[in-house]
Every structure is written in C-alpha cells, then in structure tokens.
Amino acid sequence: MSTIGIIGSGNIGSVLSQLAVDAGHDVVIANSRGPQSLTDLVDRLGPRARAATVAEAAAAGDVVVVTIPLGRVQDLPAHLLDGKVVIDTCNYYPERDGDTAALDSHELTTSELVQHHFAGARVVKAFNNIFAQNLGELQRPAGAPDRTTLVIAGDDEAAEQVVADFIESIGYDVFDIGGLADSWRVQRDQPAYAPAYTVSGDPAEPRRLTREDLQTLLEQADRSIR
C-alpha cells in the first residue's frame, strides 16, 4: 500500500484520512496550525496515521492530497510538491478565496490554477464534487452492485492511474473525464457538483451515481456558470 500525504485536515481531509487508513494505506496529515493540533484526529485514525508539518507530509506522500481553501494554495511554496502526484480537491468560492481574474474569465479551471502554482507536480483533480459526509458513507467493496463512481481529470496519464488506483482502493469506481481543462464540468454549481450525490441536495440523503449518471450530468454542464 501507499503513503498518502494530506495537506489540510478539514472535512475532506479528515474523511480521506479515515478511508485511506481503512484501506490499509499509511497517512501523514498536516495543517496550518501544526502537528499538535491533530492529536485527536490521529488518535482516532490509529497507528497507520501520524501528524506532521506541511513539508513533512509533502515529502512523505507517494500521493499528496491538497485539500485547503483555494485562496490559500498560493501560500504554499511553489516547489513543495515537485515530482509528486498531487490530488487537488479545491473549489473556488470568491467570497472566501477572493476574486481570481483567470477563473472569473474562464481562462483557467481551478485545477489548472493549482497546476500552474505547483508546476513541478503532476496534478489530478478529484474529490472536489462530493460532500465529505457522502464521501465517508458511499464507499463499497469492489464489484458491489451499489458502488458509486467518482470523477478524475488530469493531464498526466500515469498520475491519473495512480490516483484511480487509490480511489478504487478506498471503495469507489473511477470515471476519467479528461484533462485539467475539462475539470470545469465538476466545478461549483455545475450539474455534477456535490448535490448530485444526494437525493435532494441534502448530504443526509446520499445518492449513488454510476458512470452513466455522471455522463448525463457532464453533458448538461454550462461554462457560463461560475
């Protein structure tokens, strides 16, 4: 199994840590407040998990998940993730992240923005379009008839395969929707965004999505939507 570095201990980071540990991966998790703030989380996760600094988590991970507010990505050193396979879960919320002209004009997708910052990394978009609560409860064993599909997007096929293998190991099928430029189809407010994995937009009512379901939703995507 792999070592998963996780930068960000919020909802998605915490759930992914648990799923990774449950699947037999080792987890090294960090946040901006320092390892001492993660004691309770790593105690719950057990011996496969440890808290670290951001630099330590980045160095330790065979795969590194960046799951922080998009506006904070620029605060991380640009060379921090050189050579790494990076999972970008970030979404653009201007009221939180500040306005970004390249995103407002659709010049870039959020994942292209992350790739531009971490130019030496191999960025793959994943986990941005599902509520953390649902991510933690829709996982199923391989071959289960009610197994849910998650999407990825990336420009490096080898990196995408690494990420797909990880996602499959934690209980999900994978649908590759194209390159980072195509990832706008699962950005905020698009039909395939997080509420699609629920019955009525309520995370308390999870809904399984198949590849066919996602394909239909992706075809309804509208670039004019932020």
Per-residue pLDDT of the chain (226 residues; tens, 9 = 90+): 799 999 999 999 999 999 999 999 999 999 999 999 999 999 999 999 999 999 999 999 999 999 999 999 999 999 999 999 999 999 999 999 999 999 999 999 999 999 999 999 999 999 999 999 999 999 999 999 999 999 999 999 999 999 999 999 999 999 999 999 999 999 999 999 999 999 999 999 999 999 999 999 999 999 988 6
Cα 213 from Cα 196, distance rounded (Å) = 9
* pLDDT in the model for residue 29: 98
* pLDDT in the model for residue 225: 82
Q: Where are the alpha helices (DSSP H) in the chain?
A: 11-22, 39-45, 54-60, 94-97, 101-104, 110-117, 132-135, 157-169, 211-219
Q: Give me the domains of the chain, ranges plus CATH numbers.
A: 3-219 (3.40.50.720)
* pLDDT in the model for residue 34: 96
Sign of the Cα pseudo-torsion (4, 6, 9, 12, in order): negative
Cα 37 from Cα 21, distance rounded (Å) = 19
